[in-house]
Amino acid sequence: MPKRFRLTRRFNVAMTEDGYRSLRRFAAEAGLDEGEALSFLFEHFDSVTDTETLSIKLRQFNAELEERKR
- 1 has a pLDDT exceeding 60: no
pLDDT tens-digit map of 30-43 = 999 998 999 999 99
Number of H-type helices and E-type strands within the chain: 4, 0
pLDDT tier at 3, thresholds 50, 70, 90: low
Q: pTM to 2 decimals?
A: 0.75
* Positive or negative torsion for Cα 62, 64, 67, 70: negative
pLDDT tens-digit map of 36-66 = 999 999 999 999 999 899 999 999 999 998 8
pLDDT at 4: 67
pLDDT at 27: 96
Q: Are 20 and 6 in contact (CB under 8 A)?
A: no
